[in-house]
Amino acid sequence: MISVTHATGRIRPRDRDAVIQSLRAGVVPRVGQQHIQVGRVDEVTALVGDIDRIVDGGSAFRLVIGEYGAGKSFFLNLVRSIALERKLVTVHADLSPERRLYSTGGHARGLYAELMRNLSTRAKPEGGAMLPVVERFITTSLSAARSRGIDAETVIRERLSDLRELVGGYDFAEVVAAYWRAHDTGHDRLRSDVVRWLRAEFSTRTDSRKALGVRTIIDDRTFYDHLKLFARFVRLAGFSGLLVCLDEMVNLYKMSHTRARNSNYEQVLRILNDCLQGSAAGLGFVFSGTPDMLFDTRRGLYSYPALQSRLAENAFARKGLVDFSGPVLRLANLSPEDMYVLLTKLRHVYASGDPDAYLVPDEALTAFMEHCASRVGDAYFRTPRTTIKEFVNLLAVLDQNPGVNWSDLIDRIDIEQETNPDLAPLPAGDVAPPATQTAASDDDNLIHFRL
């Protein structure tokens, strides 16, 4: 017998449509996750603690580890939405062959640019918030200037002086100051150049010098230094801090060349050390990856001894004992009970929160689960993406064909087990490239494999 508390509360049409559309497309919703979220109480509490620490000017580092389909991306999005509520600025991206933490071929700049494209605030949760953040810095500076009876330029310079002590801070401050000049004189081109610079969209120093008079750009080498600067900057603009979410860390694990992979792991270590020592003010990181990516001592993070010792799990937290305070957060797969609650929530969201509009009774939920179990076994709740998708599809058909009975449809649902594209065997005999090979070329060699 499964006991549940039924979903309650109305749902905004915008949230409803976003959730339903994403799930039907097999992707994790970017907004409205709270309406379908199940379980994860302790995990969420742990991350809320991290967010609080960032708000207090501290730092945070978490590695969310879960099996294929366990709900990592969903969890990251959930954390991100909580951070936005707490007035943090968030950036997020999937790591990929083109987007890495370390590179000599532009891939770290590529990651930075992707992060900044996805820059979000509470008012703009779906990205593209760079301009409003910069504007906010200017308007808060203007009001400070007014209340102190001094000119804006002085206040802006004064506030930016904080950044100058950081690596790359001098030019960063110059760029923001250029925004003020553009703002003051109505120079739109200059304004958009500043935003492009901050989004790491300048690829050469020459262009940057011509457009803005600064000789540096945000590039591979300064990826992390610039995130630290940006975290300081958002606090100056009146936000509580910066949360960086990096999904699909498996893409670092898949890099075939040991040296290139290790350079990326070295960046992880640098970030981890900084965050654990609290020296990255108002900045937090949430990474996500699979157990192999962490534990594999040949290629995983554990292959890098300094990371292994810092990420080792608490030896006492075994056999049902938990510890949510370490950097590694294990995300268990959903259970059948979770799945049932999830179906009630999906039904509720589909009906825009109106129980009178539910398209199926409770029996249909159990019948649906039994049908899925008979087709794919435990996979229906362990890797729930397809289950969720098919359930929403079922609701859509019932919705549009009022004469049809749910019980006639359930047997017709064709559901197949999901396969993890990352499980293909790794090539044997992977060795470090010969010392004569240049860093640039080994860095650019990645293996892509699909089933």
**Chain residues that interact with ligand ATP, rule: CB under 6 A:** 23, 28, 36-40, 66, 68-74, 342, 384-385, 388
Contacted by 388, from ligand ATP, Mg ion, none: CB < 5 to 8 Å by type: ligand ATP
Classified as helix, coil or strand, 129 is coil
The residues, ordered by sequence, that sit 6+ positions from 303 with a Cβ below 8 Å of its Cβ are 265, 296, 297
- Give me the DSSP letters along 399-435: HH-TT--HHHHHTT--------GGGSPPPSS--PPPT
Options 67-75, 363-371, 398-406, 429-437: segment touching Mg ion (CB under 5 A): 67-75
Name the minimum Å distance from CB 403 to ligand ATP: 30
Contacted by 82, from Mg ion, ligand ATP, none: CB < 5 to 8 Å by type: none
Contacted by 71, from ligand ATP, Mg ion, none: CB < 5 to 8 Å by type: ligand ATP
| Angstrom distance (rounded) from CA 253 to CA 386 | 26
DSSP 8-state secondary structure symbol assigned to residue 357: G
Nearer to ligand ATP, 215 or 448 (CB): 448
C-beta neighbour count of 278 within 10 angstroms: 12
Contacted by 58, from ligand ATP, Mg ion, none: CB < 5 to 8 Å by type: none
Contacted by 74, from ligand ATP, Mg ion, none: CB < 5 to 8 Å by type: ligand ATP
Name the minimum Å distance from CB 5 to ligand ATP: 15
Terminal-to-terminal C-alpha distance of the chain: 39
Nearer to Mg ion, 58 or 300 (CB): 300
Nearer to ligand ATP, 24 or 221 (CB): 24
Name the minimum Å distance from CB 303 to ligand ATP: 21
Name the minimum Å distance from CB 73 to ligand ATP: 3
Residue nearest to Mg ion (CB): 73
The residues, ordered by sequence, that sit 6+ positions from 167 with a Cβ below 8 Å of its Cβ are 222, 225, 228, 229
Query: Buried (b) or exposed (e) across 132-150, using 16+ Cβ within 10 A?
Result: ebbebbbeebeeebeeeee
| Angstrom distance (rounded) from CA 212 to CA 177 | 10
Nearer to Mg ion, 63 or 218 (CB): 63
Contacted by 181, from Mg ion, ligand ATP, none: CB < 5 to 8 Å by type: none
Nearer to Mg ion, 73 or 386 (CB): 73
Nearer to ligand ATP, 28 or 101 (CB): 28
Options 68-76, 127-135, 290-298, 410-418: segment touching Mg ion (CB under 5 A): 68-76
In the sheet with 283-289, reading across from the earlier edge strand, the strands are 89-94, 242-247, 283-289, 59-65, 328-330
Name the minimum Å distance from CB 126 to Mg ion: 18
Among 73, 208, 222, 267, interactor with Mg ion by CB under 5 A: 73
Nearer to ligand ATP, 195 or 249 (CB): 249
Classified as helix, coil or strand, 438 is coil
Q: What's the length of the chain?
A: 451
Residue nearest to ligand ATP (CB): 71
The residues, ordered by sequence, that sit 6+ positions from 384 with a Cβ below 8 Å of its Cβ are 69, 71, 334, 339, 342
Locate 330 and state its tokens: 């294990």
Contacted by 69, from ligand ATP, Mg ion, none: CB < 5 to 8 Å by type: ligand ATP
**Closest by Cα among 272, 331, 286 to 43:** 331
Contacted by 127, from ligand ATP, Mg ion, none: CB < 5 to 8 Å by type: none
Contacted by 66, from Mg ion, ligand ATP, none: CB < 5 to 8 Å by type: ligand ATP
Name the minimum Å distance from CB 115 to Mg ion: 17
Name the minimum Å distance from CB 47 to Mg ion: 16
Query: Buried (b) or exposed (e) across 168-183, using 16+ Cβ within 10 A?
Result: bbbbbbbbbbbbbebb
Name the minimum Å distance from CB 341 to ligand ATP: 8
Nearer to ligand ATP, 133 or 415 (CB): 415
Burial class (CB in 10 A: 0-12, 13-18, 19+), 123: exposed
Count, residues near Mg ion per rule CB under 5 A = 2
Name the minimum Å distance from CB 380 to ligand ATP: 11
**Angle, helices 385-400/336-350, rounded to nearest 10 degrees:** 30
Contacted by 241, from Mg ion, ligand ATP, none: CB < 5 to 8 Å by type: none
Residue type, 206: T
Torsion of CA 439, 441, 444, 450, to 10 degrees: -120
Binding site for Mg ion (CB under 5 A): 72-73
